[in-house]
């Protein structure tokens, strides 16, 4: 981002960072711009001395490039019913950056893993990349389709590091950075309509990630280039309607984007029934050019429903949770520290729970509060309030992965942008 930002600024483009988009401005069935968030509100929503109201930023064309599960894109897709043929599916990627002992790994080394410590009913795997100056990038991506509500992706990644092969690389090294982010797995058939009156959708927001390679930077850049060409033509013609901007979708289909993404259009859907059947389905796609046994391979939902626990309404003793050894493996709070996450704690909570009563009653009994497990930053915590279970939100820990907005079984958690400038520091990642 810094590299690209430097290039565009040299071309005379103005970049205004640390202004989060709160909501889209609509005119009829199109986009008229973005309303930025109010700055300087306290945690109760009352103005502080530095209060500044949000700005209406109006434009002839607005481009949504929010990555996976963008809050504005989600609103637009739902409001105008732009959904693709398949619902979007997501995975969570958890990553650490290490400084290894000299000689442990070669620069440019690449390893991808499948299996342990994940079971065959889980879709996911890990990576190990050798970088310059003895640095190692490693992590694990797990599809957010698992049935066990108490599965902990962060714990699984920590166990991944205890494998003898990985341990040998990291032992004696030093953890430098941590991060987590969701990725959109759905592919070509999950692509929403990418154009509306006055607006375009690019990159991960448009489901342009290669779900087989888990690569999306190159496709995001290309989609941005095609969007720019489309906007230039529309402005020259004085027409920014959906009919004119539909040339963007045509450009996508005529570019190498279509060729690359269409050949893996069913890849993730092949694994909805588990690893072994998935390997058979995916293997066939290498021969059939991505067709699969049927085309399209449909998925009824972007994630599987959690298996219900149907237990008593009691809080689980969190003292038994994974803590790590502090050298090779770590608890979530230690990792959050290494993410460099910073938020002004005296601001409105950006994690909105629409029906909090569900958390302390129904969710305790049915699913055991999975937010305590799927969140890789220890944001959600169930505490006792006069003997009654109650949800506590540690919003300052949030690493902006968006998992909660996706994996909550009741879909009552809404992730909205915190005050601009807050969040993790991914420098060096």
CATH number of the domain that residue 354 is part of:
3.30.70.20
What is the per-residue pLDDT for 95? Answer: 96
**33-39 own/partner pairs: CB under 8 Å, 24+ apart:** 33/57, 33/58, 33/59, 33/62, 34/62, 34/72, 36/420, 37/417, 37/419, 37/420, 39/419, 39/420
Rounded distance between C-alpha atoms, residue 212 and residue 269, angstroms: 11
Q: Is residue 191 part of a domain?
A: no
Cα separation, 291 vs 116, whole angstroms: 29
- Which residue is associated with the tokens 């032992």? 171
Report d(CA 301, CA 269) in Å as an integer: 11
Encode pLDDT of 225-268 as tens digits: 999 999 999 999 999 999 999 999 999 999 999 999 999 999 99
What is the C-alpha to C-alpha distance for residues 296 and 262, in angstroms, rounded to an integer? 11
Domain presence at residue 9: no
In a domain, 353, yes or no: yes
pLDDT of res. 303? 53
What is the DSSP secondary-structure string of 340-376?
A: T-B--SSS--SEEES-HHHHHTHHHHHT--THHHH-T
354 within some domain: yes
Locate 54 and state its tokens.
């949000």
* Contact criterion met (CB below 8 Å) for 152 and 373: yes
Is 357 part of a structural domain of the chain?
Answer: yes
Is residue 341 assigned to a domain? yes
* The pLDDT of residue 421: 78
**399 within some domain:** yes
Distances 141 to 14, 46, 156 between C-alpha atoms, Å? 35, 40, 10
Q: Strands 21-27, 30-36: parallel, antiparallel or unpaired by DSSP?
A: antiparallel
Give the residue from 25, 16, 21, 26 showing the smallest Cα distance to 350. Answer: 21
Give the structural domain span for 386.
318-415
Q: Kindly state the helix (H) or strand (E) to which residue 318 belongs, with its residue range.
A: none
267, 207 Cβ separation under 8 angstroms: no
Position 398 scores a pLDDT of 96
CA distance 84 to 210: 16
How many structural domains are present in the chain? 1
pLDDT at 320: 81
User: 3-state class of 286 per DSSP?
Assistant: helix
CA distance 200 to 233: 14
Give backbone dihedrals phi and psi of 15, rounded to 5 degrees, phi first: -110, 125
pTM: 0.93
What parts of the chain have a pLDDT lower than 70?
A: 299-304, 427-429
Q: What is the pLDDT of residue 314?
A: 79
**Would residue 118 count as lying in a domain?**
no
For residue 428, the model assigns a pLDDT of 60
């Amino acid at each position: 981002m810094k590299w690209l930002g430097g290039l565009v600024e040299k071309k005379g483009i103005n970049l205004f960072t640390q202004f989060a988009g709160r909501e889209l401005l609509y005119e009829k069935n199109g986009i008229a711009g973005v309303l930025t968030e109010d700055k300087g509100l306290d945690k109760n929503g009352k103005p502080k001395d530095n209060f500044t109201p949000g700005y209406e930023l109006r434009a002839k064309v607005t481009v949504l490039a929010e990555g996976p599960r963008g809050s504005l894109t989600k609103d637009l897709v739902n409001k105008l019913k732009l959904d693709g043929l398949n619902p979007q599916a997501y995975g969570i990627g958890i990553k650490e950056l290490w400084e290894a002992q000299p000689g442990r790994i070669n620069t440019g080394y690449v390893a991808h893993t499948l299996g342990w410590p994940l079971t065959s009913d889980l879709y996911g795997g890990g990576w190990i990349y050798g970088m310059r100056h003895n640095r190692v990038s490693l992590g694990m991506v797990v599809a957010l389709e698992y049935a066990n509500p108490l599965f902990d992706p962060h714990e699984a990644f920590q166990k991944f590091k205890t494998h003898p092969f990985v341990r040998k690389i990291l032992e004696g090294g030093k953890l430098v950075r941590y991060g987590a982010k969701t990725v959109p797995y759905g592919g070509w058939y999950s692509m929403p309509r990418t154009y509306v009156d006055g607006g375009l959708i690019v990159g991960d927001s448009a489901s342009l990630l290669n779900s087989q390679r888990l690569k999306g930077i190159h496709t995001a850049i290309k989609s941005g280039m095609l969007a720019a060409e489309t906007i230039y033509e529309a402005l020259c013609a004085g027409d920014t309607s959906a009919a004119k901007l539909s040339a963007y979708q045509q450009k996508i289909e005529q570019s190498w984007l279509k060729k690359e993404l269409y050949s893996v259009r069913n890849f993730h859907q092949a694994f909805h029934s588990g690893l072994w059947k998935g390997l058979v389905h995916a293997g066939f796609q290498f021969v059939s050019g991505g067709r699969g046994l049927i085309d399209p391979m449909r998925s009824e939902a972007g994630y599987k429903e959690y298996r219900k626990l149907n237990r008593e309404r009691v809080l689980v003793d969190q003292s038994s949770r994974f803590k790590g050894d502090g050298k090779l493996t770590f608890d979530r709070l230690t990792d959050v520290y290494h993410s460099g996450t910073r938020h002004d704690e005296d601001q409105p909570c950006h994690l909105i729970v629409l029906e909090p009563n569900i958390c302390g009653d129904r969710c305790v009994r049915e699913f055991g509060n999975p937010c305590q497990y799927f969140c890789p930053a220890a944001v959600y915590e169930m505490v006792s309030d006069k003997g009654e279970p109650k949800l506590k939100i540690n919003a300052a820990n949030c690493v902006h992965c968006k998992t909660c907005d996706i994996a909550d079984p009741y879909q009552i958690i809404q992730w909205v942008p915190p005050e601009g400038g807050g969040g993790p520091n991914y420098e060096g990642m």
